């Protein structure tokens, strides 16, 4: 029997919202077969924090490893999708975990950023002590269905820094509202962009 595959990445279009002040996606057409060229050729202009993306540790750490340094196995393997109840603009704390954590990768569904084409600043985020607790349980990657693991108004990025201390990979900007909670295989490989602080990914979940 064929296993279900869930695409958890938003579509990359000019309508996709990025962090305010960052570079939105746009396409520059260099060659166009409809205009008589022998092939189609285009260039993408965009932030590397685009849609579903992986943060590098260098995103918030001076001299920390950039995105190409993450080992690929961090982003492929058993994963748990957990739906949590949280208010808008609030931090997800330890109390949100009502079931034991059973995988090294955990994706948290907050439903607080429902439309990737409309940027709402009151999305939920993760508490630093939650990151530290997950790290103690052996979790190596945390993902969320919001643009950031920190609240929009955060200036010190405490949760990003907790991930840096814990060597925790961050997967942000996911679309998870159509995914039932449970166990899956995650495939979300970042590009080997040498020196960069993030990379877009095509993130998918496959039923076990």
Nearest Cα neighbor of 93 from 153, 141, 162, 156 is 162
Active-site residue flag, 49: no
Rg (CA), the chain: 17
Kindly name the residue from 59, 133, 160, 178 that is annotated as catalytic: 59
User: Cβ-count burial of 161 within 10 angstroms (0-12 exposed, 13-18 middle, 19+ buried)?
Assistant: middle
- Tell the residue number behind the tokens 């925790």, with chain if given: 168
**Helix residue ranges, H only, the chain:** 128-136, 158-166
Q: For residues 193 and 203, what is the distance between their CA atoms, to the nearest angstrom?
A: 17
Contacts of 40 (CB under 8 A, 6+ apart): 29, 31, 32, 33
Q: Give the residue numbers marked as catalytic.
A: 59
């Amino acid at each position: 029997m064929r296993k279900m595959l869930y695409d958890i990445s938003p579509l990359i279009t000019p309508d996709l919202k990025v962090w305010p002040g960052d570079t939105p996606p746009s396409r520059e057409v260099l060659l166009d077969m409809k205009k008589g060229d022998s092939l189609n050729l285009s260039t993408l202009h965009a932030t590397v924090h685009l849609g579903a993306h992986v943060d590098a540790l260098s995103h918030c750490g001076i001299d920390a490893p950039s995105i190409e340094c993450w080992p690929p196995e961090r982003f492929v393997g058993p994963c748990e999708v957990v739906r949590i109840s949280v208010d808008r603009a609030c931090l997800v704390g330890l109390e949100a975990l009502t079931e034991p954590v059973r995988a090294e990768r955990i994706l948290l569904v907050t439903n607080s950023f429902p439309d990737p084409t409309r940027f709402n600043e009151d999305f939920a985020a993760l508490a630093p002590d939650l990151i530290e607790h997950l790290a103690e349980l052996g979790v190596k990657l945390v993902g969320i269905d919001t643009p950031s693991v920190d609240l929009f108004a955060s200036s010190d990025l405490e949760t990003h820094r907790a991930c840096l201390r814990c060597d925790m990979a961050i997967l942000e900007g996911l679309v998870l509202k159509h995914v039932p909670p449970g166990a899956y295989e995650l495939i979300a490989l970042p590009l080997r962009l040498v020196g960069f602080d993030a990379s877009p990914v095509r993130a998918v979940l496959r039923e076990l």
